[in-house]
Copies of this chain bind each other. A is one copy, B any other.
C-alpha cells in the first residue's frame, strides 16, 4: 500500500491521476496548506522539502513529480504509461516532464511563491506582472514544438498527459487565455472525459 500525500490545486494532481489510471493500491492523505501543514514537524519528517507530492512506499519516501510518475508507471507495466524500454521514446517523455517541472511550473510559481526568490514586495509584484507573459511563452513552446496530439506523445497516452493537464489548469489564473492554444484546449477536454481524472479531482476537492 502506497501512502500518497497531496494538496488540492497543486502539481500533486498529476501523480494522483496516474495512481488512478494504473489502479494502484494507495491511500490518499491530504496536506492542509491553509494551516501550513506541509511545514509541520510531522510532515517534514516525511518530506524535508516541505512540499507535496510525496509517496511513502515500503522502501522509503519518494518525492518530485517526474520521478513519482515514472515510478508508478513502472510498478504497473500493464498500464503502458511510459515507454521505459525504448530509450529514445522514454527520453522524450522525460524531457517533456522535465520541461514542465523546471520551466513551466517555475514560471507559474512566480505568481504565488515569489518569496522563494526575492524578499521585497516590489520585486515580488514585478514577478507577478510577468507571469502571464512567461507562462504563455512556455505553453506556446508546448503547443508549437512539443505536443503531438491527440496526446502529448502522439497516439499513446502517457505520464506526460496528466502532468500537462495539471499545469494547464492554472492557465486562466495565471492570466493566460486558453483560446491561444487550441491543441491544448482539446487536450484538456479529452483529459476531463477520463474516469481517472474525474476520480482524482473528486477526491482532491471532496
Which residues of the partner chain B approach A66 to less than 8 Å between Cβ atoms?
66, 94, 98
Please tell me how many copies of the chain the complex holds: 2
Q: Cβ of A33 < 8 Å from any Cβ of B?
A: no
In A87-105, the 8 Å CB interface with B consists of: 87-88, 90-95, 98-99, 101-103, 105
| Closest beta carbon of chain B to A11's beta carbon, Å | 10
A130 near B118 with CB under 8 A, answer: yes
Which residues of the partner chain B approach A90 to less than 8 Å between Cβ atoms?
70-71, 74
Docked Cα-Cα span, A95 to B144, in Å, equals 28
Which residues of the partner chain B approach A98 to less than 8 Å between Cβ atoms?
64-67, 98, 101
Q: Cβ of A110 < 8 Å from any Cβ of B?
A: yes
Instruction: Tell me the interface secondary structure of chain A in the complex.
Output: helix
Docked Cα-Cα span, A67 to B116, in Å, equals 26
Known contacts A87-B71, A87-B74, A130-B118; is A95 also within 8 Å of B57 by CB? no
Interface membership of chain A positions 64-90, coded 1 if the CB is closer than 8 angstroms to chain B and 0 otherwise: 111110110011000000001001101
Q: Cβ of A195 < 8 Å from any Cβ of B?
A: no
| Closest beta carbon of chain B to A112's beta carbon, Å | 13
Q: Cβ of A38 < 8 Å from any Cβ of B?
A: no
Which residues of the partner chain B approach A84 to less than 8 Å between Cβ atoms?
84
A91 near B118 with CB under 8 A, answer: no
Q: Cβ of A172 < 8 Å from any Cβ of B?
A: no
A92 near B62 with CB under 8 A, answer: yes
Docked Cα-Cα span, A49 to B103, in Å, equals 10
B57, B87, B122: the one within 8 Å of A122 (CB): B122
| Closest beta carbon of chain B to A86's beta carbon, Å | 9
A49 near B141 with CB under 8 A, answer: yes
Please give 17 more A-B residue pairs, beta carbons under 8 A apart, in addition to A62-B91, A64-B102, A122-B126. A48-B144, A60-B92, A62-B88, A64-B95, A68-B91, A71-B91, A71-B94, A75-B87, A98-B101, A101-B101, A102-B102, A107-B116, A118-B123, A118-B127, A119-B129, A120-B126, A123-B123
